[in-house]
Structure 1
Amino acid sequence: MAAGSWLDEKPNGGVVLAEAVARVPFTKEEAEILSGGIPRGHKNLTKATADLVRAGWMTKGRSGWEITEEGLKATVVFTTVETLAEALSSGAQAPAGTALPEPPTAKQAAKAPAKKAAAKKPAAKKASAKATPANEADNQASQESGVEHKEQPASVALAGDFGTTLGAVENWDPSHNNVQMSLDAKQGTWKLTADLPAGQYSYKAVVNGSWDENYGAFGVNDGANHEFAHAGGPVTFHYDHTTKDVLRSEV
């Protein structure tokens, strides 16, 4: 974020959190899934970003997240994880007169590694489906309920390595009926309940039947796969088209 601030870049929260996890993967304890269906580490990261906002080092807006001038100065003074954490805890700020860090040079920018696209199971791209009368009715019901929700897509599928367990011909196929999620018009979320044997699973949310629009961990478009360890039994997946994220709850 500090480097991006010189380019007036404001990444969304999902991108920031996904990048943080990519750089420093969760430990076994942090990867533990909490009752809300999210890893413990995700909750800790979210709390940490709230602390950064309270310290005045970062802002969260509709257009994205951005590091402030005070936040940039903090990166100059508090150069280790330990000193940064201590400053956040104590409320310490960079001393008056602290200069902003130097912007990255063109040479440094050229050396920056290109972001690698997250791997996913290859799948034949399917033309985006038009909204069906049923989904149009669901969207209308959402409006009439008085609860404001983002306009919903025509379909959302849960494509993953458990597709055949649900009855699909092959895994990672978003076109099979058994991996389609159902829209709860009142809640504004999509749901799918599956009875899965114990194991480690990966999946993504695929919108409108095409891999052109898919969301992985933290709701990042074409991001890393959602992954979770399951003890076995029914589990309900909840997709929110506002956050583009998928949460889980065990039935």
Structure 2
Amino acid sequence: MSVRDNTNRRIKEVLDIMAAGSLAAELPNGGAVLAEAVARVPFTKEESELLSGGIPRGHKNLTKATADLVKAGWMTKGRSGWDITETGLKATVAFPTVDALTAALTDGTAVPAGTALPEKAVAKPAAKKAPAKAAAKTATKPATKAATPAKKAPAKPAAKKTVTKAAAPAAGVEHKDQPASVALAGDFGAVLGAVENWDPSHDAVQMRLDAHSGKWLLTTDLPAGTYSYKAVVNGSWDENYGAFGQPDGANHEFEHAGGAVTFHYDHATKDVLRAETLG
């Protein structure tokens, strides 16, 4: 099996685990979901190699691939946990094999109308508790060498960032309509230091409120590439804005030549603008 094949198998497991959690009325933590998926499809020697930051290659590939599930509208990621949508539940029925699911994600195939929700029996595979512990061991071993543990990073920032990232209003400036926090969740999260992409809970993707202009700002350096992102308000995907400030809209997308870039979010328009400086 190639690295790509193994990642595809784990993505199928992720969706099945999420479906099981939904049927059990649980919102599983992202780290637990990934750990269980890795327990079911263990890393190969190549996938266990540590990348910069001490994260195994297979873990980075998997977290990056979960963004495809989010973009397909099959799951959401929030501070309280990961959740599978009704469309995602139906996807487990419409695309029951790894090949079918992979093809649907690659081609952007919609779940056929009239697809039924899965039966309770889908929950059985996720009931394996012992492998989950083994997966946690596998993932946390290499993470002990890193400055930011791979499994614990998402949980800690979420608990303390929402209020601390909002700058105190300056005298004479009214901010009563501003949210508590704004984050840019996209496929550059891991580049900025987040454990995974499309995670609005990490410190690295939090914007700060400029007390004078009333705009939210995030300045960072990004390597050359094409990027997608959305603005997530108050730490939850329940309120997010895409291109042109549309609620739950299409992703913002831009090509970057590399270097510094400053993102500006205006809560009045719900839109994000950019100012780029070539490196």
TM-score by length of structure 2 reads: 0.43
Q: Which has the higher helix share?
A: 2
Larger Rg: 1
